[in-house]
């Protein structure tokens, strides 16, 4: 497996991982922009409207039929947030040319269709089709409302919102209902043009082809102009004021407890690996302190897991508990953190955490989606180390490193969703 990063044009880069491991090609075009309330909803809606058709395939059905013909070509578009950066992603997944019946140049045809989706969407009167925009606004609003359906993820998102209320990180990447309602086809098209012309473009590729061939396809089918994108900044807070307590009410059976902390370490930091190992030991695996003590010994919950946003430097410890055990669980979780800060780490715990983290890094190289996700986060944090390189650093982290890094964590918010 080889990794190669190259500049196609100013502001347009390709990161390619060449490997024969897979039967598929995965390519993502990531348009990176600052996460802002005013534009997040537009970008999110754009990824829905753009799937409705292109100049050559003017209906969703004709586009989907073409994808079927291209061996069930996957074309997706969606938004993500990494710290305070919004990624507008266009994704292509195709089976490798070798597995087509006629050994056709499937990747090239797929790139052509992806290029068409991004650069030649169907329009009327010079803007997006009004009917499509109206329908996708309704669908998007429904799907934003449906975020309450999954109580686990909803309680994590809400904790982030409460914790970072006055920071861009709290912006809902899917969009804001009030803003979506007011979007016009003109406004959306203007944002589309701005995005296409000014966003930082990061193309990621995982598959068997030579990076130079991929670069060629990009020049041919993804004609981005050179640009000087705005720097990708995420404001990191390492201290917290008075602890915020917040309860949302819902008629549910199980209380969702989300504990928000500032980690004091981000992916930009050279010694991020120390934090990663701390996290593994604290709650990242079934041999971690949280799992072994809060779940197994105290039988308080089925899950109890830290969810880390590495670019922003925040952690939410998510758990689902019986409401009568809410305070006990909170105490038990914080006790585990204190335990590490006080240096109570056994040799076995350290060894297990190291093995687990090393394994986690090495497994990333076996999934095209994980590889893409790994490099996207790293590029946003301004680094390019590979999972294998990270795995090699794990053993050098000492107990003292973990203790030192754990002392940077500060409690910010205690959030719960309960009846």
Partner 1 sequence: MCFLVKENKEINEKYYYKVHKTGLPIYVFPKNHSTSFAVFGTRFGSVDSTFKTADDKDFVTVPDGVAHFLEHKLFEDENGNDAFTRYAQYGGDANAFTSFVRTAYLFSCTNNFNENLEVLLDFVTHPYFTEQTVKKEQGIIGEEIRMYEDNPNWRVFFNMLAAMYVNHPIRRDIAGTIESISQITPEILYKCYNAFYNLHNMALCVCGDVTPEQVEAVCDKVLKPAPEVSIARMTVDEPEHIHQERVTLNLEVAQPLFCIGIKQTPAKTPEERLKKSAVNNILLQLMFGKSSDFYNRHYESGLINSKFSASFEQERQYAFVDIAGSCENPDGVKEAVCEEITKRKEQFFTREEFERTKRAVYANFLFNFDSTERIATDFLTYIFADTDMLDFPAAISNVTYEDAMEELSASYDTGKCVLSIIFPKK
- Indicate the burial class of 68 (C-beta count within 10 angstroms; 0-12, 13-18, 19 or more): exposed
In this complex, which beta carbon is closest to partner 1, that of residue 1 or of residue 240? 1
Query: Which strand ranges, in their side-by-side order, compose the sheet holding 301-309?
Result: 244-249, 410-418, 255-262, 314-321, 301-309
Angle of CA points 415, 418, 419, to nearest 5°:
155
> Which residues is 91 bridged to in the sheet?
28, 76
Q: What is the dihedral of CA 213, 218, 221, 226, to 10 degrees?
A: -150
Footprint on residues 140-169 left by partner 1 (CB under 8 A): 142-143, 145-152
Of 228 and 348, nearer to partner 1 (C-beta) is 348
Say if residues 236 and 382 touch (Cβ distance below 8 Å).
no
Tell me if 112 contacts partner 1 by CB under 8 A: no
Q: Which of 56, 120, 130, 138 binds partner 1 (CB under 8 A)?
A: 138
DSSP letters, 25-69, are: EEEEEEEEEE--HHHHHHHHHHHHHGGG-BSSS-SHHHHHHHHHH
- For residue 44, CA distances in Å to 11, 55, 111, 115, 380 come to 22, 21, 22, 19, 19
Q: Out of 33, 42, 85, 95, which residue is the one contacting partner 1 (CB under 8 A)? A: 95
What is the sign, positive or negative, of the torsion defined by CA atoms of 42, 44, 48, 50? positive
104 counts as binding partner 1 under rule CB under 8 A: no
Tokens coding 365:
């190289």
Asked if 53 interacts with partner 1 (CB under 8 A), we say no
- Window 351-390: contact mask with partner 1 (x via CB under 8 A): xx--xx-xxx-xx-xxxx----------------------
Binding partner 1 by CB under 8 A: which of 182, 251, 270, 346?
251
Q: Which residues, numbered 10-29, are part of the site for partner 1 (CB under 8 A)?
A: 20-24
State the minimum distance, in angstroms, from the CB of residue 234 to partner 1: 30
**Residue from 139, 219, 342, 398 binding partner 1 (CB under 8 A):** 139
Q: Which stretch binds partner 1 (CB under 8 A): 134-142, 187-195, 222-230, 236-244?
A: 134-142
Where along the sequence are the contacts to partner 1 (CB under 8 A)?
Answer: 20-24, 59-61, 64-65, 67-69, 71-72, 93, 95, 99, 101, 135, 138-139, 142-143, 145-152, 250-254, 285-287, 291-292, 295-296, 299-303, 320-322, 348, 351-352, 355-356, 358-360, 362-363, 365-368
């Amino acid at each position: 497996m080889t990794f190669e990063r190259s500049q196609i044009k100013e502001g347009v880069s390709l990161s390619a991982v060449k490997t024969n491991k897979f039967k598929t090609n995965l390519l993502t075009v990531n348009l990176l922009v600052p996460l802002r309330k005013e534009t997040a909803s537009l970008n999110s809606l754009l990824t829905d409207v753009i799937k409705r058709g292109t100049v050559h395939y003017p209906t969703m059905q004709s586009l989907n039929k073409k994808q079927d013909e291209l061996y069930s070509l996957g074309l997706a578009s969606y938004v993500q947030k990494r710290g305070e950066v919004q990624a507008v992603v266009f994704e292509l997944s195709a089976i490798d040319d070798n597995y087509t019946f006629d050994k056709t140049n499937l990747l090239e045809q797929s790139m052509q269709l992806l290029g068409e989706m991004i650069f030649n969407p169907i329009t009327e009167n010079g803007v997006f089709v009004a009917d499509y925009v109206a329908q996708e606004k309704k669908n998007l609003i429904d799907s934003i409302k449906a975020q309450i359906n999954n109580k686990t993820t909803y309680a994590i998102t809400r904790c982030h919102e409460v914790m970072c209320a006055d920071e861009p990180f709290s912006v809902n990447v899917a969009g804001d209902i009030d803003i979506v309602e007011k979007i016009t086809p003109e406004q959306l098209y203007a944002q589309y043009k701005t995005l296409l012309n000014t966003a930082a473009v990061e193309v990621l590729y995982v598959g068997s082809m030579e990076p130079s061939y991929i670069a060629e396809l990009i020049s041919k089918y993804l004609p981005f102009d050179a640009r000087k994108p705005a720097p990708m900044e995420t404001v990191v807070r390492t201290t917290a004021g008075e602890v915020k307590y917040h309860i949302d009410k819902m008629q549910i059976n199980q209380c969702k407890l989300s504990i928000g902390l500032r980690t004091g370490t981000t992916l930009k930091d050279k010694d991020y690996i120390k934090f990663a190992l701390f996290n593994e030991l604290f709650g990242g695996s079934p041999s971690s302190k949280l799992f072994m003590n809060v779940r197994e010994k105290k039988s308080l919950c089925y899950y109890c897991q830290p969810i880390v946003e590495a670019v922003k430097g925040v952690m939410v410890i998510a758990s689902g508990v019986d409401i009568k055990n809410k305070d006990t669980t909170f105490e038990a979780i914080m006790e585990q953190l204190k335990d590490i800060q006080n240096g109570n780490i056994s040799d076995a715990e350290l060894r297990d955490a190291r093995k687990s983290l090393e394994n986690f890094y090495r497994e990333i190289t076996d999934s095209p989606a994980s590889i893409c996700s790994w490099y996207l986060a790293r590029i946003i944090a301004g680094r390019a180390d590979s999972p294998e390189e990270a795995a090699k650093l794990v053993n050098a982290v000492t107990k003292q490193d973990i203790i030192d890094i754990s002392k940077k964590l500060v409690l910010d918010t205690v959030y719960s969703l309960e009846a």
